[in-house]
Amino acid sequence: MLLEMINIDKSFFNVKVLNDVSLHVEKGEVHALLGENGAGKSTLMNILGGVHEKDRGTITLDHEKIEKINPKIAPQLGIAFVHQELNLFNDLRVFENIFLREEITNKFGQLDKQKMIGEVEKLFHNMGVDIDPTVMVSELDTSKKQLLEIAKALRKDAKLFILDEPTTALGNLEIENLFSIIRRLKEQGKSFIFISHKMPEIFQIADKYTVLRNGDFVGAGSISEVTPESLTRMMVGDCYDNRDIYVCRELKEPILELQNFSGKGFQDVNLTVNKGEVLSLTGLQGSGCSELMQCIFGCTKPTSGTLKINGKVVSGGIRTLMKNKVGMIASNRKENAILKDLCLLENCYVSEHTLSWKKQKINKQRELEKYNVLSKKLNIKANSCKDLIVSLSGGNQQKVMIARWLNTDAEIFLLDNPTQGIDVGAKSEIYKLIVQLSEQGKTIIMNTQEISEIQKISDRCAIFYHSRLQIVLDRKDINEETVMLYATNAHGIREGQNGKQ
């Protein structure tokens, strides 16, 4: 046994995020660590990588009990961690990033750039990666950056590699290359902990699995003994049967139309959304869904094409779109949506005020009444509307954001990754709210990469690949395999074998 993590507990601010979790990894094994977002996978790995400290439990590596880990000790123990978020320095060159603080120098302490560049070239060649070692990291696209992050770890002589969703930004060929490297290293006796949401990948590369749910250990075993369905059921638990949130509705007239709509990050999109519909946009990171959404909301200007709302051509900035009853809940709530120094009430009315700007005096009584109605409707859990928004949990913060746009009487809701950083319980509450809104005739366009949530609530699903709309699936056709097929453009490759789908 290479790694044993036994009975690990961890809490943040009295919220238990890991409860008695164990993980066993053998030498020369690829171990898939599974669970929904917020299940505790990243926390567990961050404990192993020394980013967080465990509250309880034991960690044994190579039969030696490890008392203390921090990000500096972890590599010395032979643990190499490829984080989900990229830890690269954009203003340094590729080889400088790889050799940062481990630079090769000559006798006089001068950097031996030629030697470093040579080593990087060799490494990239082995990985089948085509990156110029001397280029600035800022010039690389996301997939190259992810490969670079992986290369940084692979160069180290580690026993155990932790790959936290390493393939989100990679194309199929790059994934194939990565897998062949993993297989080769596995033969040399290296072990991998592989975190991924993509079932096909897991069945392709992993030997064993461990499933976490809501911070609890759910199960572990050999991949060969399970099916994708049984694994998914373990991951999502009872929620898996939660599909009945969806309410079949009759869709009304078109409310939003895109015609040959192009802009930064997306091209030539033709799409019609009906009133009262829940339409999901999906695709891999960087496929253009988020960019499209921002452009519809007027954050960026389209380069060509038209946007029609209720049959009328609309073009302009955010305020124009708001006047046309469009609201957007931006992704990355902390950065793009919440006003951290303002209270719940203020966060709730800020957008409506830009529409009723001419009447400058705030009617505090009226605002309070409106807030109370909204907070009841959305079930916002807070002590007082005067509390700072940052005192709320992610799910409640997101409800305040929904309240913000309901307050403006928006008819079309653009939700960019609305369940990001929200725990499972609050997630299903958000899903229910979305369905409720659609029943009341609001139109929802939601960008998400979680296929399970697309299945739960969408009427249709528009799939993007490399800035182009690939296909729009009807509800009955939405399933993990089909979505991934189009999102990764494997469809284009497979089409020859399987015939037209």
Partner 1 sequence: MENSKKNRPGWSSYLKWIWQNANYVLIFAVIFLVYLLINGQATNWAGITNIMRHSSVIGIVALAMGLIILIGDIDLSVGSSIALVGGFSVLIFNATGSVAITLAAGILGGAFTGLINGMLIGKVRMPAFIATLATMMMYRSISQYYLASSGVAMYKVDASSPGYDAFFKLGNGNIMTIPILTLVFLAMALMLIYINGSTKFGKTIYALGSNEKAARLAGINTEWLRVAVFVIAGALVGLAAVLFAAQNGTITPSSAGKNYELYAIAAVVIGGVSMLGGKGKIVGVIFGMLTFTIIDKIILSLGYNPLINDTIKGAILLMAILFQMFQKGGKPSR
The site for partner 1 (CB under 8 A) is made up of 13, 297, 299, 318-319, 322, 328, 330, 335-342, 346, 349-351, 353-357, 359-362, 364, 383, 390, 404, 408
When the beta carbons of 227 and 320 are compared against partner 1, the nearer one is 320
**Region of 245 on the Ramachandran plot (φ > 0 left; ψ -120 to 50 alpha; else beta):** alpha
Distance in angstroms (rounded) separating the CA atoms of residues 48 and 60:
10
Shortest reach from residue 334's CB to partner 1, in Å:
8
Contact of 145 with 88, CB cutoff 8 Å: yes
Of 322 and 378, nearer to partner 1 (C-beta) is: 322
Q: Which amino acid is at 366?
A: R
Looking at the Cβ atoms of 86 and 299, the one nearer to partner 1 is 299
User: Residue 108 or residue 357: which is nearer to partner 1 going by CB?
Assistant: 357
Nearer to partner 1, 1 or 390 (CB): 390
8 Å CB contact between 158 and 75? yes
Closest approach of partner 1 to the CB of residue 374, in Å: 15
Smallest distance, partner 1 to C-beta of residue 418, A: 14
For residues 115 and 107, what is the distance between their CA atoms, to the nearest angstrom?
A: 13
**Smallest gap, in angstroms, from Cβ of residue 333 to partner 1?**
9
Phi, psi torsion values for 99, nearest 5 degrees: -100, 10
Distances (CA, A) of 395 to 280, 380, 389, 496: 20, 9, 11, 44
CA distance 391 to 340: 9
Q: Which is nearer to partner 1, 312 or 359 (CB)?
A: 359
Q: Work out how close the CB of 341 gets to partner 1 at its nearest, in angstroms, rounded to a whole number.
A: 4
User: By C-beta, is 184 or 323 nearer to partner 1?
Assistant: 323
For partner 1, the closer CB: 104 or 299:
299
Q: Which is nearer to partner 1, 201 or 346 (CB)?
A: 346
- CB pairs under 8 A, 24+ apart, for 96-104? 97/137, 97/148, 97/152, 98/123, 98/133, 98/148, 98/151, 98/152, 98/155
The least CB distance from residue 474 to partner 1, in Å, is 31
CB of 198 to partner 1, least distance (A): 30
* Torsion angle (degrees, nearest 10) of CA 132, 134, 137, 142: 0
Smallest separation, CB 354 to partner 1 (Å): 4
Min separation Cβ 14 and partner 1, Å: 10
Q: Which of 272, 278, 340 is nearest to 308 (CA)?
A: 272
Q: 309 has which bridge partners?
A: 256, 312
Distance in angstroms (rounded) separating the CA atoms of residues 178 and 34? 19
Give 79: exposed, middle or buried? Use CB within 10 Å, 0-12, 13-18, 19+.
Answer: buried
Distance CA 58, CA 63 (A): 12
